[in-house]
Chain A
Amino acid sequence: MPERTRILVVDDESRVRSMIHQYLTAEGYDVTTVGTGHEALEAVRRDDVQLVILDWMLPGGLNGLEVCREIRKISSVAVIMLTAKTEETDMIVGLEMGADDYVTKPFRMRELTARIRTVLRRTQQGGEASPANVLTRGSLVIEPDKFTVRKDGEDVILTPAEFKILVTLATRPGVVFSRLQLSEVALGDDYIHYERSIDTHISHLRKKIESNPSQPEYIQTVYGIGYRFGVPV
């Protein structure tokens, strides 16, 4: 059995810490949480950590950026910064300080876990392929990173929005997503008020991947709620 990935979460808000802790544990990671920069450095020195999630704003004299720089001096562990600031320059500074990626607050746990997977794949090259890399669902084979979908071995051409919707749904078969959630994923925050347009994307998507679009087996409508990915029998 392969050793589980250990993630260190550094955030001064205990509630955020415990939430991330719960989520990542449920996702199958080993999680350590600390509240200050000094504790973070200690943990990096002490434990075999594969990834650090680091809050930008930390109390106690050592802020996220400084912690990141210190970590880089002692380790090549992957770092994802959590930042409330959305200014480009801050991110560039963050990345220059050695962070591998950044996520802005308020962030979605789904987005964070996606970034974690990507960063881990990048930093753990040569390691075993993550199962999330290829989604096989019935006759569909989806490769999120390569942006490809094959149905019965044949390539299906999807628009970016359709692809994002498909990946979101297919990652969690059986889970119902609301239109609003899907439009946030597919179209971004700016289009969040156009949730109905998601229906159009869905119908296009069905035409491309369903054998019988009027009786979809993959993308199912949950009447009055939203859509879910059906598990084909």
Chain B
Amino acid sequence: MSVRLKIWIAMAGLILWMSGCYLVISHIFTESQFRHFTTEARIQSATRWATVIERYYEEHGSFTGVEPAVKNAVIQSPYGTGTSLEEITLISPNGSQIAKIALSPTPPDPDDTTGVPVPIMVNGKKIASAIVYDRVIEGLELLQETTLQSVANATLVGLLLTAVISLIAGGWLSRLITKPLRNIMGGIRQIARGDLNTQVRVRSRDEFSRLADALNDMSMKLAQAVQTRRRLVADVAHELRTPITIIQGQLDLIQDGLQPAEPSSLLPIQDEVLRLRTLIDELHQLALAESHQLKLHMTRMELVEWLSQLVEKFKPEALLRGIDIGFTTEVESAYVSADSHRLTQVFANLISNALRYTPEQGAIHLTLRENPEPQKTVAIDVTDTGTGIPKEQVDHIFDRFYRTEEARSRESGGLGLGLAIAKELAELHGGKISVASEPGRGSTFTITLPLK
């Protein structure tokens, strides 16, 4: 059953229930009002005629001749002959009938219980009791019945009317309430069909709009993830092309007998296979880091000592390339919590980049210093006097597979994964990596790490 139908049924049910209650309550109430009123009227009538009889007794000292006197009084009363008074029976205290004053040709039914007994009191003494039958009461009963009937009728008509109106209104209202829900459903279906750019629009500011916002957010993230995956696949396919072309070309040469299968002609193949292996390893690592599945074995490390040792390890290579490499520190010691193996990877990457993009006679320098912002962090600069990075390309160098045009046309180009991995690793350590570069003069890569 749809929510819309449920809401509609609930509303209709409520209205019907309320109307029913109203009908019953009004019936009971009207009836009791009437009963009360009837009793009151009977008592009033009886009391009035009892007073007449009492006055007669006081005047005459006995009940003899009370019948014509009362009849006279009735005729002279404002009601006159049109009186509804039927009969008054006078009964002595011992139970015997004293008089029966019949005022209507038809005497009341012997079973009639509507007669109201009233005591006849003279000088504070009860001398007899009168049972008064008044027909006005019957008229009242008729009135009661018709009134109750018309109240019931009115309620029923009202009920029908409200039912019709409420059902229509309920239908409309439930439609209104569930409209955002239908929009959202439509959006979800669209997403399921693969249209990930779906954005659901819900105008109200309620739970539904929050649901829609969440859905929009989800579809956006989904679209991004799909986009990332597509780009990655395209990037990898592109990266595979060159090695495969070279390997195939080299193999064709050998197979076609244009070149003997000696180590020198196999070397390019070896190189390309190695590149493919590196590509796979680095991609795997990047994927692990990006999905936060890389396990870090954090230990407390002292950076001053650690960095000077690291720089030491790169000295031979720097010497070979005719590049000066050095390290200075502005702090006495700096403790961080880090995975030393991963941190080595980060710096090894920055330093090997610097070595790669710095010409002979250049210099690479690492500086460890306090970092003003954010507090409790330390910064390490890796500065080189190399080619630098053109402004419009700076934003992209941390993207995977991105290499500057300058780097792409070089002999010993990398894969463009190093900085992407370094960035992920730095972030896994709670740190950041940034770059400032001046084309032609050099670059400074800065890593910040939280102090422990």
Contacts and interface: CB of A to CB of B under 8 A. Distances in A.
Interface in A26-78: 26-27, 35-36, 59-60
B392 interface: no
A59 B405 CA distance: 5
A122 interface: no
B255 to A, nearest CB: 6
Interface of B is mostly: helix
Interface string B243-254: 011101110110
Interface stretch (A106-114, A191-199, A215-223): A106-114
B409 A19 contact: no
Q: Which one of A12, A106, A176 has the highest number of Cβ atoms from chain B below 10 Å of its Cβ?
A: A106
B272 interface: yes
Given A22-B259, A174-B257, A36 B249 contact: no
Contact of A26 (B242, B258, B272): B258
Contacts of B244: 106
Contacts of B405: 59-60
Interface string B218-245: 0000000000000000000010111011
Interface of A is mostly: loop
Contacts of A26: 253, 258-259
B262 interface: no
Contacts of B411: 14
A109 B248 CA distance: 7
B256 A84 contact: no
Contacts of B253: 22-23, 26, 109
A132 interface: no
B408 interface: yes
A19 B256 contact: no
Interface in A75-129: 84, 105-110
B416 to A, nearest CB: 13
A106 B248 contact: yes
Contacts of B248: 106, 108-109
B257 A16 contact: no
Interface in B247-301: 248-250, 252-253, 255-259, 268, 271-272
Interface in B319-376: none
A13 interface: yes
A36 B409 contact: yes
Interface in A206-220: none
B408 A16 contact: no
A175 interface: yes
A15 B409 contact: no
Given A19-B249, A59-B405, A174-B257, A105 B241 contact: yes
Given A36-B409, A60-B409, A174-B257, A19 B250 contact: yes
**Chain B interface size range:** 20 to 34
Nearest to A107: B245
Given A12-B408, A35-B409, A36-B409, A27 B245 contact: no
A20 interface: yes
Contacts of B242: 13, 15-16, 105-106
B268 A19 contact: yes
A20 B271 CA distance: 16
Contacts of A176: 255
B257 A172 contact: yes
A16 to B, nearest CB: 6
Nearest to A12: B409
A115 B248 CA distance: 17
A12 B257 CA distance: 28
A13 B242 CA distance: 8
A15 to B, nearest CB: 5
A16 B246 contact: yes
A60 B410 CA distance: 12
A175 to B, nearest CB: 6
Contacts of A18: 268
Nearest to A13: B242
B272 A15 contact: yes
Nearest to B403: A59
A19 B246 contact: yes
A175 B257 CA distance: 8
A38 B250 CA distance: 28
Contacts of B271: 15
A18 B246 CA distance: 9
Nearest to B407: A59
Given A19-B268, A60-B409, A172 B256 contact: yes
Contacts of B252: 23, 108-110
Nearest to A14: B411
A38 to B, nearest CB: 12
Contacts of B257: 172, 174-175
A26 B252 CA distance: 11
B409 A16 contact: no
Contacts of A19: 245-246, 249-250, 268
Given A36-B409, A105-B242, A106-B248, 18 more contacts: A12-B408, A12-B409, A14-B411, A15-B242, A15-B271, A16-B245, A19-B245, A19-B250, A23-B252, A59-B406, A59-B409, A60-B405, A106-B244, A108-B252, A109-B249, A109-B252, A175-B255, A175-B257
Interface of B: 238, 240-242, 244-246, 248-250, 252-253, 255-259, 268, 271-272, 405-406, 408-411
Closest 7 CB pairs of A and B: A26-B258, A59-B405, A106-B245, A109-B249, A106-B244, A19-B249, A106-B241
8 contacts: A15-B242, A16-B246, A59-B405, A60-B409, A105-B242, A106-B242, A108-B248, A109-B249
